Chains A and B, each alone.
Chain A
Amino acid sequence: MGLIKNIKSYSEGIQISAEKREILTSFLSNGFPTTKDEEWKYTSLKKVIANEYSIENKGTIIDSSVIEKYSLGLKNKIIFSDGRLINSPSIKGVNINGFSEFESANTDSILQLNKALSKNGFTISVDKNTALENPIEILFFSTTVNGFSQYRNQISIGENSEVKFIERLQNLNNSASFVNHFTQINCAENTKVEYNKIQNNTAESQLIDTVNVYQEQDSTCNINTLIFGGSFIRNNLNFEQNGSNCESNMNGVSILNNNQLADNHTFVDHKSAHCRSNEMYKGVYLDNSKGVFNGKIMVRPDAQKIDAFQSNNNLLLSDTSSIDSKPQLEIYADDVKCSHGCTIGQLDDDALFYMRSRGIGIEEAKAVLTYAFASEAIENISVEQVKSLAKKLLAKKLNVDLDFSL
């Protein structure tokens, strides 16, 4: 059977608008992207879509101890159980609701499918002049076995406001779930947003996660992506800068083992002058894991005085791990500072010996060097709890008992 057939039979039994029906029909006839598609050249969905999925989610009660286990313990928690909103904090100046329909300018077939099928997600709007001291934690729990879910979320930040988010998708069984996750963030003038993604789902879980960010002038948006768990992860981060003095920052840390695959696709569309973008992706690959990085930077003809910086550094810690890294620069303005760099390396033997001679065991020494390698990106995260979780997960992933902090 496979996912296409699952979607087909599911779609025959549901009531949807004519527009959505048309989208679905066209999706079903074209299918999922293949490696012939330039954007999916190094990342094959073949195995993911060969599986059988259950599209209808039931929704169960989640025990508070489970929530505690996966939460960072922050005061403001938005919690979903199989897409149903089960907890929503009341925060002054912030309206939090469940799913609502919205259009997105930047779209691909995966997002089309999301649009046609999604019934779940959140809608957050932050009033003008609201600076939130406490970050908002968003937890999506899934209890459905082999569930295929679409979440569709929209965040709108009013002028002069400042908010931080932490998002986590968590499977509560070990099945091969697949989530098509989409979040749109609208940043009005002079806003500051930090969105932290903790991607540490169960070993068999699969995810395509797209974020579209639309920025107005003087806004800053940071998206930090921490990838530790999950068998298949594809992230698409798309930034559109629509006013001057915008800043778009991306930090990514991937620590993969076994047969994990993580693909980070980023796109910054510099449409206005006097803007900046910084991206720093660090990947560590063990066993048979595989990484893909594709960083596209577009500077439009009128977007002068742009500073765009991109780096993708990788550590291959086994002979059978791999990384495909591709910068894609399209620059149509002439007064632009744009730099990109990609490195692929191993741990330094001299540094390993130096540490071992100080009593640090080889696995710990490797972990320290790996942490050192990734720390530059981790340190760019402003939420302390996220930073320390990242350190903990890194140590856990590398099988060492170290806390990397003093």
Chain B
Amino acid sequence: MLQIKELKAGIEGNQILKGINLEVKAGEIHAIMGPNGSGKSTLSAVIAGKEEYEVEGGAISFDGENLLELDPEERAHNGIFLSFQYPVEIPGISVSNFIKTSITEKRKAQGLEPLPTKNLLKMMREKMELLSIKKGYLSRNMNEGFSGGEKKRNEIFQMAMLEPKLAILDETDSGLDIDALRIVANGVNKLRTGDNATIVITHYQRLLDYIVPDFVHVLHNGRIIKSGGKELALELEEKGYDWITKEADKKWA
């Protein structure tokens, strides 16, 4: 589904990603862990198409197509979804209106008519129930005045509505208390099919108790320095990152 080869990207001449290789197949869950500032959010933003970052080398393909040639909205239409580490407040537009617009635009790109409002509202209610989202939330302005946890839940709500092929969850767990974490993880699990895939970016092993990854990668200083199975997350939880980052620093010094 997603293939990243030797990806190098940065901003204003400052290289942040220094050669990333990653392959994600349909049905898989990958976890990306790593210390602060290692480039996790940059990687997800580059996959989603943030133009601020300059791709200096390497390639990304998604379902066989060169992703780097597509605009962010085209990537979304093709099934990529990024749950932002810091979701943006959009005052003046309600959650329901926002989601309606994004679904309508996605359907438009696929040559489909807009979903009738009735069906859309029904779908919203179902997904809200799945994520234990309270009524009244739909008419609030997009992320405006939302608590950290509410913003994250809103991200997953949008994901549930858009049904992406590849979801990238950038620190969706931060800001969530344990109950909310369980609800969100449960939602993510329920949305899983054999055809979609998830990349979970997290600092903590905790989320991975609920969303169990097939692969765990450690990102450090713009490179994936170690990959393994779900046990790797437990090992990192226990020993921290030092034992692998030191080795890597020596190698790339």
B102→A355 contact, CB < 8 A: yes
Chain A residues, CB < 8 A from B96? 406
**Segment of B1-9, B70-78, B213-221 engaged in the interface with chain A:** B70-78
B48→A371 contact, CB < 8 A: no
Chain B residues, CB < 8 A from A354? 84, 87-88, 90
Chain A residues, CB < 8 A from B102? 355, 358-360
A351→B90 contact, CB < 8 A: yes
CB contact under 8 A between A364 and B50, given known A351-B88, A372-B91 = no
A375→B92 contact, CB < 8 A: yes
Bound form: Cα–Cα A160–B51 in Å:
58
SS class of chain B's interface: helix, strand, loop or mixed? helix
Bound form: Cα–Cα A356–B48 in Å:
9
Most chain B CB within a 10 A radius of its CB, from A354, A355, A357: A357
B158→A358 contact, CB < 8 A: yes
Bound form: Cα–Cα A99–B161 in Å:
58
Mark interface residues in A363-384 (1 if CB within 8 Å of B CB, else 0): 0110011011111100000000
Let me know if B52 is at the binding interface, CB within 8 A: yes
Let me know if A10 is at the binding interface, CB within 8 A: no
Bound form: Cα–Cα A360–B100 in Å:
10
A357→B105 contact, CB < 8 A: no
Let me know if A350 is at the binding interface, CB within 8 A: yes
Let me know if A72 is at the binding interface, CB within 8 A: no
Let me know if A362 is at the binding interface, CB within 8 A: yes
Let me know if B109 is at the binding interface, CB within 8 A: yes
Mark interface residues in B52-78 (1 if CB within 8 Å of A CB, else 0): 100000000000000000011101110
Chain A residues, CB < 8 A from B92? 371-376
Chain A residues, CB < 8 A from B106? 359
Partner of A357, one of B72, B90, B100: B72
Q: Which residue of A lies closest to B78 (CB)?
A: A359
Q: Which residue of A lies closest to B96 (CB)?
A: A406
A362→B88 contact, CB < 8 A: no
CB proximity of A319 to chain B, nearest CB, Å: 19
Let me know if B162 is at the binding interface, CB within 8 A: yes
Let me know if B39 is at the binding interface, CB within 8 A: no
A357→B49 contact, CB < 8 A: yes
Chain B residues, CB < 8 A from A402? 101, 104
A353→B50 contact, CB < 8 A: yes
Interface residues of B in 88-129 (CB under 8 A from A): 88-94, 96-98, 100-106, 109, 117, 120
B100→A406 contact, CB < 8 A: yes
B90→A359 contact, CB < 8 A: no
B91→A358 contact, CB < 8 A: no
Let me know if A133 is at the binding interface, CB within 8 A: no
Chain A residues, CB < 8 A from B98? 355, 358, 368
Chain A residues, CB < 8 A from B100? 406
Bound form: Cα–Cα A91–B103 in Å:
45
Let me know if A404 is at the binding interface, CB within 8 A: yes
Let me know if A65 is at the binding interface, CB within 8 A: no
Q: Which residue of B lies closest to A363 (CB)?
A: B73
CB proximity of A328 to chain B, nearest CB, Å: 28
Chain A interface residues (CB < 8 Å from chain B): 348-351, 353-362, 364-365, 368-369, 371-376, 402, 404-406
Jot down 7 A-B pairs with beta carbons below 8 A, ordered by A.
Answer: A353-B72, A357-B73, A358-B76, A361-B73, A372-B93, A404-B97, A406-B100
Chain B interface residues (CB < 8 Å from chain A): 48-52, 71-73, 75-77, 80-82, 84, 87-94, 96-98, 100-106, 109, 117, 120, 158, 162
Q: A374-B92, A376-B92, A404-B97 are in contact. List 10 more A-B contacts (CB 8 A).
A: A351-B88, A353-B48, A354-B87, A357-B75, A358-B81, A358-B158, A359-B77, A369-B90, A372-B90, A402-B101
